[in-house]
Amino acid sequence: MTMGDLLGFLQKHWGDVASVIGFAFAMVTLLLTKRAAEAAKGAAIEVRNRLNRVNAVADFAQVLATIEEIKRLHRVKAWEISLDRYSVVRRLLVSVQESSPTISDEQRAVVAGAIEQFRIMERTVGRARSRNAHDDLDLARLNTTAAKILDELNGVMISIRQAADRRCPIRI
């Protein structure tokens, strides 16, 4: 095939050649766009996971502060306010449990146990209130239970925070 034959072919079929080149360009562009979309999806998932971890740590911090407040309320026998705080702690713990897919089964068990313990404490104080038997409440037992839960939840919060730090170290 000579140069003349090639030029003749291109003159007759320039539209076909342009279509093939355009198709190849479109395929390359499509593949690059697909890779970019997959990378964006991965980044969006990572951002969502980071936000979930940050929210879980913030919720844990609020839970721990509320448990400390409950212990103080027990000491001054502010049972009405304590009843409100029990439900706040349970609500926050349920939120952590449901919105944190990265916590381990062991950590979920700790959270579930804390939810149940605060449900029992609320029931106990509520029954004593309804019978006007606040003096029958075992303050030491209530605060010991709250302190134990506080320690366990603090451990879960620390491990979540450490896992988040390992996945996304702060760079300065």
Reported confidence tier of residue 169, pLDDT bands at 50, 70, 90: low
User: What are the distances in angstroms from CA 30 to CA 35, 40, 42, 154?
Assistant: 9, 15, 18, 49
pLDDT at residue 114 greater than cutoff 80: yes
Q: Which fold has domain 3-167?
A: Four Helix Bundle (Hemerythrin (Met), subunit A) (1.20.120)
pLDDT at 171: 46
Percent of the chain clearing pLDDT 90 (strictly above): 42
Q: CA torsion 51→57→60→61, rounded to 10°?
A: -120
49-70 confidence digits (pLDDT tens): 788 878 888 888 999 999 999 9
6-35 confidence digits (pLDDT tens): 778 878 888 888 888 889 899 999 999 999
